[in-house]
Structure 1
Amino acid sequence: MCISRPQTPNRLLQRLLTVTASLLACVMLAGISGQATAGAAPLAHRAPWGGYEEVWVPSEMGPIKVQIQWASRGGNAALYLLDGLRARNDRNAWTFETNALDQFRNDNVTLVMPVGGESSFYTDWMAPSNFNGQQTTYKWETFLTRDLPNYLETRGVSRHNNGVLGLSMGGSAAMTLAAHHRDQFKFAGSLSGYLNLSAPGMREAIRVSMLDAGRYNVDSMWGPPWSPLWLRNDPFVVAPQLAGLSLYVYAASGLPGPFDQPNAPIEYFNTATGMGLEALALANTRAFEFKLNSLGIPATFSFPAHGTHSWPYWSAELWKARPQILNTLNAW
């Protein structure tokens, strides 16, 4: 028969201290273990909730300014808006020639508007232009598909849930970028883009246009007219690679419409120029439509009876494309 002995106060105190130390050690180990798990887990970046920001993103061309309107509720989708042939170095024209920011302000998609790239076709050039003293070689495709998504990913924007839309030069680029970078873009849109660069006279027309817009030498871009780079950057040629993408394609007739109200000589001149440019874009886009139809690739086409090559029409067309963009990127 065992008889328990009464414990002395010293032994009770010693046991109490032992139990307390053991409990404290368990709590500390649990805390340390929890911190290690949290530290080992990958950081979860979230895009800012709404608001506008201008940032500078490193590139092979030097720092590039990018204007950004963040998704209204921190979503991971982005829409790249590309400028035209006469892109400026201070602002992307979508931010001041249109109401694009207002159109998407309450939507869960980030608008990404790179600044610069005059006459670049947003492609990687072979060399600096030797007609205007250009100091660096354009590397816009590398920037838009590597450097910029690398930066945006640190701010919570997905590398794979993006759309790209442009006008004129930017429309051509949007299609070729989407064709060559299917992992990045789910949607591509062209507004008055030149989508059949292999058509007779198009390469010569581009050469003249680029000389007029900054004295750029097209041979520094894609080489002579027989270079394979011309084919790589022709939406008509790379059309088979667009299968499965959500596509929106617009070109008007070139006839003056509701946004054409010239009153001064310069305005009449600009309207006439816009008529010719849009008629050429329409011919290119109709050929592109035929090519997609022959391949069985569906797209949304918009061919209004009136409209010239000018910003008010592109702003209105962006609004029409908006539901398709938001549906594709799940960004309502």
Structure 2
Amino acid sequence: MALIQCDFYSDTLGLSTSMNVILPQTTYSQIGMKTLSSGHKHKTLLLLHGLSDDHTIWLRRTSIERYVSELGIAVVMPSAQRSFYTDMEQGMKFWSFISEELPAIARSFFPLSDRKEDNFVAGLSMGGYGAFKLALTHPDRYQAAASLSGAMDLSHLNEFAPDDFKKIFGTLDQYQGSKNDLFNLAREAAALGEVAPLLYQCCGTEDFLYAENIQFRDHAEQLKLPITYEEEPGNHDWGYWDLKIQRVLEWLPLQSNR
């Protein structure tokens, strides 16, 4: 595998930012790892961080590089600060950056496929919200999305962090039923039928976000969205996420369709 840190200027954000990228590389001499590359433009997993983290966290807290080594896929890990992957009411346009500018920049740097069938997104906590938001908003771009202990209902953020909620989303009325509301996005995606992306959702039963994950699961199932839901004992921590990202990689539809 090739591991690359990219520092680049974002026109959307108006500042320099960073992303880490894992690229497939066929090698036979890396001790303890078998690595593969298809030789085509790579299938890509966009992997999103949580509220207190950045673009380095998945590499520091999990063995994601080793887990993907035999899969022949690229992994793009950007930084989005504490934005909830949103064009903030009082801040920068992180939604426009993540959804539009970042994919274009990554594909200009590296041989990454732009086909829907080759693109997936996953994340934890705030990143789980971002992953579902991307896939449900752009079902024509992402084949599948995975949320690990995701923040599903951000109206709760208005209750325990009202100042942060106001800076990101504005008022509760502005959030509910909007393009930032996952429950609303799920309703819109359900109207697309078979075009809707595949969804994977998991949450530990001891997690403080467990109740809203159950609520979203029930909502998605009622809408007949293609969702796979799993739960087991677990908390909001890296021991749980390191295990579940391996399950996500097993679940992703990576079979060749060229």
Deviation at 1:169, TM superposition (A): 0.8
Runs of 4 or more off by more than 6 Å in structure 1?
A: none
Q: Highest CA radius of gyration, 1 or 2?
A: 1
1:70 maps to: 23
Task: Give the TM-score, by structure 2 length.
Answer: 0.83
Task: Quote the Cα distance in structure 2 between the aligned partners of 1:313 and 1:242.
Answer: 29
Secondary structure of 1:247's counterpart equals strand
The answer as to whether partners of 1:178 and 1:242 remain within 8 angstroms in 2 is: no
Work out whether residues 157 and 165 of structure 2, in 8 Å CA contact, stay in contact via their aligned partners in 1: no
1:163-202 mapped onto 2 (5 Å cutoff): 163-198=120-155, 201-202=156-157
Structure 2 residue 39 is the aligned partner of structure 1 residue 85: no
For 2:82, the equivalent position in structure 1 comes to 119
1:1-332 residue pairs with structure 2 within 5 A? 50-59=1-10, 60-61=12-13, 62-72=15-25, 73=37, 74=39, 75-88=41-54, 91-115=55-79, 117-128=80-91, 137=92, 139-154=93-108, 155-160=110-115, 161-198=118-155, 201-205=156-160, 207=161, 217-228=164-175, 231-243=178-190, 244-254=196-206, 278-279=207-208, 281-304=209-232, 306-325=233-252, 327-328=253-254, 330=256
Q: 2-side partners of 1:310 and 1:228: how far apart?
A: 28
Deviations 1:8-65 (A, max 9, x none): xxxxxxxxxxxxxxxxxxxxxxxxxxxxxxxxxxxxxxxxxx4111112331222221
Structure richer in strand, relative to its length = 2
Q: Which runs of 5+ in 2 are unaligned?
A: 26-36, 191-195
Give, in whole Å, the separation in 1 of the partners of 2:226 and 2:139: 16
Give the TM-score normalised by structure 1: 0.66
AA partner of residue 182 (structure 2): P
Per-residue deviation, residues 302-328 of structure 1 (Å, max 9, x unmatched): 111x11100110110011111222x25
| CA deviation after TM superposition for structure 1 residue 124, in Å | 1.2
AA of the residue aligned to 1:141: W
Return the letter of the residue paired with 1:100: I
Q: 1:329 deviation in Å?
A: 6.7
Contact 1:152 1:158 (8 Å CA) reproduced: no
Task: Report SS of the residue matched to 1:164.
Answer: strand
Q: Which amino acid aligns with 2:248?
A: A
- Would you say the 8 A contact 2:56–2:77 is kept in 1? yes
Distance 1:250 1:83 in 2: 16
Percent identity of equivalent pairs: 26
Q: Kindly tell me: are residues 300 and 237 of structure 1, through their superposed partners in 2, closer, same or farther at Cα, counting changes over 3 Å? A: same
Mark the CA change 1:300 to 1:330 in structure 2 (over 3 Å): closer, same or farther.
farther
Go from structure 1 to structure 2 and tell me whether the alpha carbon gap of 1:79 and 1:241 turns closer, same or farther (over 3 Å shift): farther
**1:102-121 CA deviation, whole Å, 9 max, x = no partner?**
10022211000113x33210
The CA deviation at 1:196 is 2.6
SS across alignment from 2:134: helix
**Is the partner of 2:21 in helix, strand or coil?**
strand
> What is the RMSD computed on CA atoms of the aligned residues?
2.1
